Structure 1
């Protein structure tokens, strides 16, 4: 905790001495964690918390592009969880170990008379949907596409299929997975977007919903990008009605991400009385650990195609507030992504206006 606090203060004030002290404290934390890991099962909860805090330090200490150092600690957490269950260790950066853990638990469930916990099923189902999107996204990033080719239309179909599955996931939620939208005009506009907030059953449920939102936002964004880049392929696959629905979905989910923000981030403008009104409790921890996820989700929402300006502005203001409060470089670098995105939109708008004026001048000259 000392390393985190010193790093945040050092970053925010550009104080090299504090930054150096934070690195020394981080090294001490590594040593203490290493000792604790000699017998992690003795106090598994403390060992997991320690590795999570080490990962969080990397978010404070580095920009959002620096994933690898954070990943090292998160994979360490996976290994700790795996160590609590007697399964064989496997390679592949911990991914196989986590999958093996899942398979081992399913084997145990299959030989029992009980069902999988129904309240956890939506979260498990969503993992599969996000994995489908991630796989298609890798294909998009590593493949050259040509308009009119079957492979291009095939990718659009896959994205539409994933979006449909996500739509069905959203529509099927019931019981504890339902949430309510509340409006309170007295809440500060800087902390509560459009004076609205969500009330969830617990914090865990709210986190799963936000994972759904960013994943579907990116899925819809990819569909729009393919429609714009490859119109010949898109016209065979995407109808105008479907495209209108996708644009509407993007705007709705972007607003939902911002509306859910008070559940995950205690904005400094929120008083204790405000928090008593809006906060969701239980099911998972809150605090700084959830900030990197929320900031990524805000970035996805603010940079989604066609979202209103106030969505972008509010997301940026929240990021800058979090940066000023926490000194987390991860947050600062994501705020720069938002600024670059808006600058690009402004340039595009200026080019469109200039083109229109040139066309009008040409028509006037002919007259």
Structure 2
């Protein structure tokens, strides 16, 4: 029994006629239109775990090339099955490197001895869900056997945390609380195993990638399993902070481009949103790592990424100060804050110019409307790294613009001295431009299910790290901020909200559902303000 990806969930009539089904209940619109009784939809659980091993083999051959002869996976076994079985063993051994050839042999051999209706065990189901929904078919997914080997490693910790994330997503998709309990148990096991890896990594710097990937995936578990809250953000922050602390001990990384600065910067940027959500200051270790990255990237065009990180850290500090400020309008403290925000605005203006030189992108338009594209537009980036840096910048710029607009409302006398009406107009225009760019960039970061795999790759930003969906939670937060930005057109909210719903339905990530609920609350508050 093999998980085979996203099959059609349409009714039997629409699938037979090969037309798009809107999957409305109790009857789809296509059947109502032609006056037929809608035959209904397939059971979701059996749909996810249907037996289509031959399709998986074909897909593996197409994506990975020749996987070797049958002897590659079954040489040491006494079982001599059909060529199809031998090929399946090779696929399992290569596609899932944590699985030994003997284990693959046993799975294939057992298929002829057990009833077809027997389901895979709970660990297999969780792992299959993770590999298909959270690892493969993302712009930054592992595309070669070498990257798969690097990603999976040979330890139990990574396998346990992948199972935990997969079971968490599956339990959310199916509404099964029993699976959720198993997911939490696997998570606890993964924590213990990762702790053991950290002990080894402290003695052998060459092995630090194993616990690092495990820690990052543990943080992913938090946003998949739990609804968005300060507690969830705090737990994810703790994991990322641990990853930063581990990375600090190995910088610079030998035989790595730029001494590993890119990977560390990616971790540092992922700390910003949890810090903002929990009102926590950035830890001293953050700035130590950032200064090391600055040294590694000095005299390099990519040093603007470090400049951006410093600018965002200052901005978050100012926002924290502003939220805690109690002085009334007209007092000097408010004027000082406004001037500091204006200084950061000038810094971000300069950073944007540098980003255009370091990470250029081109805007394109598709021929036909599609839910995968905002206003039928998309960005061409040279790689996922640059696309992510741009979105971190856009998020910071939206935070700054929203804060300045709020200041003009809350402190009209103080802000009138520094933020003239033309400046406020430019601020609104910048917010709309940046929010639109954020939404348009989405296909570079995430494959919408309406696009087939080959088409989606045309629009993605090429990745090299093989991290799968690790960057998706940050993207979803960016979309939420764009959809709720001050004074943006209604279609910004509509499109961002729909993407969150699609991610929730297709991946079972509670983070997406939680952000969608936040957007709903934001919309209700706007309607209340309009009527009062």
- Identify the structure with the greater helix proportion: 1
Query: Aligned ranges for residues 78-117 of structure 1 at < 5 Å?
Result: 78-85=244-251, 95-103=283-291, 116-117=298-299
Structure 1 residue 206 and structure 2 residue 206: aligned? no
Aligned to 2:137: none
Per the TM alignment, residue 171 of structure 1 is displaced from its structure 2 partner at its CA by 2.3
Alignment of 1:115-130 (within 5 A): 116-130=298-312
Alignment of 1:176-255 (within 5 A): 176-186=358-368, 189-255=370-436
Q: Is the 8 A contact 2:294 2:306 kept in 1?
A: no
Higher alpha-carbon deviation: 280-289 or 5-14: 280-289
Q: Choose 74-83 or 16-25, whichever is displaced more.
A: 74-83
Structure 2: 5+ residue runs without aligned partners? 1-161, 253-279
Comparing 72-81 and 252-261, the one that deviates more: 72-81
Other-structure match for 1:298: 479
Residue pair 2:438, 2:478 contacting (<8 A) in 1 also:
yes
Greater relative contact order (Cα < 8 A, sep 6+): 1
Q: In terms of Rg, which structure is larger?
A: 2
Give the alignment's TM-score, normalised by structure 2. Answer: 0.61
The change in CA–CA distance for 1:123 and 1:23 in structure 2 (over 3 A counts) is same
List runs of 5+ in structure 1 lacking aligned partners.
87-91, 110-114, 352-367
Which residue number corresponds to residue 259 of structure 1? 440
- Residues 175, 286 of structure 1: CA spacing in aligned structure 2 closer, same or farther, 3 A cutoff? farther
Aligned position for 1:61: 225
- The aligned residue for residue 240 of structure 2 is 74
> What per-residue deviation string (whole Å, max 9, x for no partner) do you get for residues 103-143 of structure 1?
45667x6xxxxx72513211001011111211110111111
- Mapped contact 1:202–1:284 kept (Cα < 8 A): no
SS in 2 for 1:137: helix
2: CA distance, partners of 1:299 / 1:105: 30
Instruction: Look up the match of 2:343.
Output: 161
Contact 1:262 1:278 in 2 (8 A): yes
How many residues are treated as equivalent by the alignment? 339
Pick the aligned partner of 1:10 from 142, 149, 171.
171
- CA root-mean-square deviation: 2.1
TM-score, normalised relative to structure 1? 0.87
1:19-34 correspondence to structure 2 within 5 Å: 19-34=180-195
Alpha-carbon separation, structure 2, partners of 1:94 and 1:157: 23
User: What are the equivalent positions in structure 2 for 1:249-328 lying under 5 Å apart?
Assistant: 249-285=430-466, 287-328=468-509
CA distance in structure 2 between the aligned counterparts of 1:337 and 1:70, rounded to whole angstroms: 19
